[in-house]
């Protein structure tokens, strides 16, 4: 269940009408209304209730000033206040149209503006209420209104059938526009939430990557002083074992030197840990790049188990020559490949295959399983947020806060979206398919331009790898076997 903080965040997101934006739009509407009244009354010389209409315009001016005095410019109105303000705009426009010809006035089309804003920022329930309010006023304007300002010697009487056509056109226009904007706004919010979840996943992966490098650096740096402490402690124990009776001065001096050495090495360990804990300390350079096979093995290893066979093949394309690529260990690539592999392991019956291929131009990784494969009804939509074959979307998060507080990967259709987004950011192209009949299972192919993820010559030299021409080709991997510890 979302927490109170999450619900408050969602409510603030839904009532996201900024006062500054609303005030600026209303100033434009006020200037347009004033210009129309002045041109019609003084420019064209038409008779109309000028002063009552002008009073309605200045009522909008008063509301704008009240909003500026009541709220800071960057504040956002809650749903109640936003609904009231938009309802006022609809009523003010209806009153102006009543004084100037009703639906026969060409400016009746402006009824679309408030309901469109509502569909963008308010909930569907509030939008429906404003639409019904607008339609009620539109129907009343067809029956009750003042004459349209026109030349006194050429009275303008529009046929009732034409007025009815204007009514139907306005009603259908409002309905279509609101439904269209509601759908687009909902998809935009879903995409924004899903992208926030993707950014969150990448941030978590980067933190794990940094911890991985920190642990490796700590093990490397602390190995020497800890070995010294261990050797010195064993030497002191041997001295104590040989000691019998009162120790001579030489023995005491040796023990003092050993104890000073232990204290010195312990201080060095503390300094190393303090340096590694500093957020400015860089990660171990040796972890910045890795061979393709080693990178895949790092992703595969945590998912191996007794009930699932994971087979990995790393080899160049048929007819291609060249050594195994050295890849930059980007957190987004690690997370994306790991997520797709995890999905394959979840759905596989007994076997998952990973195949890495390359030639002079491209690098590809294909992950396949022997599970049921992708459902045909979602095949074309896979990669969109909240598209999943795991069940209902009822628990779908509505904001980045929900995603942060819950497991947004499980059964919500976000896992594959996040993986696809992060991999595409690295330059990859993702294609999906099912195995041809009579086989069954899913196939996901990730394809990169080689230059997009391969380490440069400078990076190879910096991180201890030879140039491309000097790297030996890695043999094809057999199924994983346990190695004897060295």
CATH code for position 403: 3.30.565.10
Structural tokens at position 321:
């020559």
479, part of any domain: no
Residue 41 is given by DSSP the state I
- Report pLDDT for 278: 55
153: exposed, middle or buried (Cβ count in 10 Å: 0-12, 13-18, 19+): exposed
Rounded to whole angstroms, what are the CA distances from 301 to 308, 346, 422, 479? 12, 15, 21, 12
Residues 307 and 408 in one domain: yes
169, part of any domain: no
Q: Are strands 309-314 and 351-358 parallel, antiparallel or unpaired?
A: parallel
User: What would the DSSP string read from start to end of 401-444?
Assistant: HHHHHTTTTSSSS-HHHHHHHHHHHTT-EEEEEEPPTT---EEE
Inter-residue contact 347 to 371 (CB < 8 Å): yes
List beta partners, residue 446: 365, 430
Phi, psi of 412 (to 5 degrees): -110, -5
The helix/strand/coil state of 486 is: coil
Residues 139 and 244 in one domain: no
Residues 220 and 333 in one domain: no
422, part of any domain: yes
Terminal alpha carbon distance of the chain: 49
pLDDT tens across 56-80, in order?
999 999 998 998 888 876 778 888 8
Residues 308 and 453 in one domain: yes
- Report pLDDT for 390: 57
- Closest to 289 (Cα-Cα) out of 208, 365, 366, 213: 213
193, part of any domain: no
List beta partners, residue 363: 358, 448
Inter-residue contact 332 to 205 (CB < 8 Å): yes
Structural domain of residue 420, as residue ranges?
288-470
- Report pLDDT for 247: 64
Under 8 Å CB-to-CB from 98, ≥6 apart: which residues?
141, 144, 145, 146
pLDDT tens across 409-454, in order?
444 456 787 788 788 888 899 998 998 888 889 999 999 998 888 8
200, part of any domain: no
Residues 300 and 447 in one domain: yes
164, part of any domain: no
2: exposed, middle or buried (Cβ count in 10 Å: 0-12, 13-18, 19+): middle
Residue 42 is given by DSSP the state I
User: What would the DSSP string read from start to end of 268-281?
Assistant: HHHHHHHHHHSTTS
Last residue of a domain, one of 284, 310, 341: 284
Residues 267 and 310 in one domain: no
166, part of any domain: no
- Report pLDDT for 466: 54
List beta partners, residue 311: 353
Structural tokens at position 475:
């043999």
Residues 265 and 391 in one domain: no
- Report pLDDT for 475: 38
Residues 298 and 439 in one domain: yes
Last residue of a domain, one of 284, 319, 343: 284
Helix spans in 278-330 (H): 292-300
Residues 329 and 418 in one domain: yes
349, part of any domain: yes
Q: What is the residue-level pLDDT of the chain in tens, covering all 486 positions?
A: 333 443 344 444 444 677 888 888 889 989 999 999 999 988 888 888 999 999 999 999 999 899 888 887 677 888 888 889 999 999 999 999 999 988 888 888 899 988 888 888 888 888 999 999 999 999 999 888 888 888 877 777 788 888 888 889 888 988 888 888 888 877 777 666 666 666 666 666 565 555 555 555 565 566 667 777 777 777 777 777 666 555 677 777 777 777 777 877 777 777 766 665 554 444 444 567 888 888 888 888 888 877 788 888 888 888 777 788 888 888 778 888 988 898 888 888 888 999 999 988 899 999 999 988 888 877 777 767 666 665 433 333 333 334 444 444 444 456 787 788 788 888 899 998 998 888 889 999 999 998 888 887 777 676 555 544 433 333 334 344 333 333
Residues 280 and 293 in one domain: no
Number of domains in the chain: 3
pTM for the model stands at 0.49
Residues 392 and 442 in one domain: yes
Cβ-count burial 42-80 (b if 16+ within 10 Å, e if not): eeeebebbbeebeebbeebeebbeebeeebeeeebbebe
- Report pLDDT for 194: 65
Inter-residue contact 382 to 416 (CB < 8 Å): yes
Average pLDDT taken over every residue of the chain: 76
Residues 379 and 442 in one domain: yes
């Amino acid at each position: 269940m979302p927490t109170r903080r999450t619900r408050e965040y969602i409510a603030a997101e839904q009532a996201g009408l900024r006062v500054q934006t609303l005030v600026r739009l209303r100033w434009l509407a006020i200037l347009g209304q004033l210009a129309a009244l002045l041109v019609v009354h003084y420019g064209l010389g038409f008779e109309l209730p000028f002063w009552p209409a002008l009073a309605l315009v200045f009522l909008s001016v008063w509301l704008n000033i009240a909003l500026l005095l009541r709220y800071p410019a960057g504040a956002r109105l809650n749903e109640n206040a936003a609904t009231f303000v938009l309802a006022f705009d609809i009523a003010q426009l209806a009153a102006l149209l009543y004084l100037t010809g009703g639906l026969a006035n060409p400016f009746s089309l402006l009824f679309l503006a408030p309901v469109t804003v509502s569909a963008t920022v308010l909930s569907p329930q509030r939008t429906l209420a404003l639409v019904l309010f607008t339609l009620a006023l539109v129907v009343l304007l067809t029956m009750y209104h003042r004459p349209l300002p026109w030349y006194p010697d050429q009275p303008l009487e529009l046929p009732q059938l034409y007025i009815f056509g204007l009514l139907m056109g306005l009603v259908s226009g409002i309905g279509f526009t609101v439904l269209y904007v509601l759908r687009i706004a909902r998809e935009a919010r879903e995409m924004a939430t899903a992208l926030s979840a993707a950014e969150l996943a990448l941030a978590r992966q980067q933190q794990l990557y940094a911890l991985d490098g920190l642990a490796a650096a700590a093990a490397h740096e602390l190995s020497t002083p800890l070995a010294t402490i261990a050797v010195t402690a064993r030497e002191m124990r041997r001295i104590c074992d040989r000691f019998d009776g009162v120790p001579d001065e030489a023995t005491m001096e040796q023990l003092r030197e050993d104890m000073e050495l232990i204290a010195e090495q312990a201080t060095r360990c503390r300094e190393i840990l303090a340096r590694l804990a500093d957020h400015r300390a860089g990660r171990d350079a040796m972890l910045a790049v890795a061979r393709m096979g080693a990178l895949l093995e790092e992703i595969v290893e945590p998912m191996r188990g007794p009930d699932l066979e994971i087979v990995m093949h790393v080899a160049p394309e048929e007819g291609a020559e060249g050594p195994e690529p050295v890849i930059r260990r980007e957190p987004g690539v690690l997370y994306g490949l790991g997520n797709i592999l995890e999905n394959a392991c979840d759905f596989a019956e007994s076997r998952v295959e990973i195949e890495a291929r390359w030639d002079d131009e491209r690098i590809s990784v294909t992950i396949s399983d022997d599970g049921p494969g992708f459902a045909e009804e979602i095949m074309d939509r896979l990669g969109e947020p909240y598209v999943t074959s795991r069940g209902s979307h009822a628990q779908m998060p509505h904001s980045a806060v929900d995603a942060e507080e819950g497991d947004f990967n499980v059964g919500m259709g976000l896992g594959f979206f996040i993986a696809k987004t992060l991999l595409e950011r690295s330059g990859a192209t993702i294609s999906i398919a099912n195995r041809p009949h009579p086989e069954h299972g899913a196939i996901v192919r990730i394809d990169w331009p080689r230059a997009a993820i391969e380490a440069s010559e400078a990076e190879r030299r910096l991180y201890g790898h030879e140039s491309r021409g000097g790297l030996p080709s890695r043999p094809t991997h057999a199924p994983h076997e346990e190695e004897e510890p060295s």
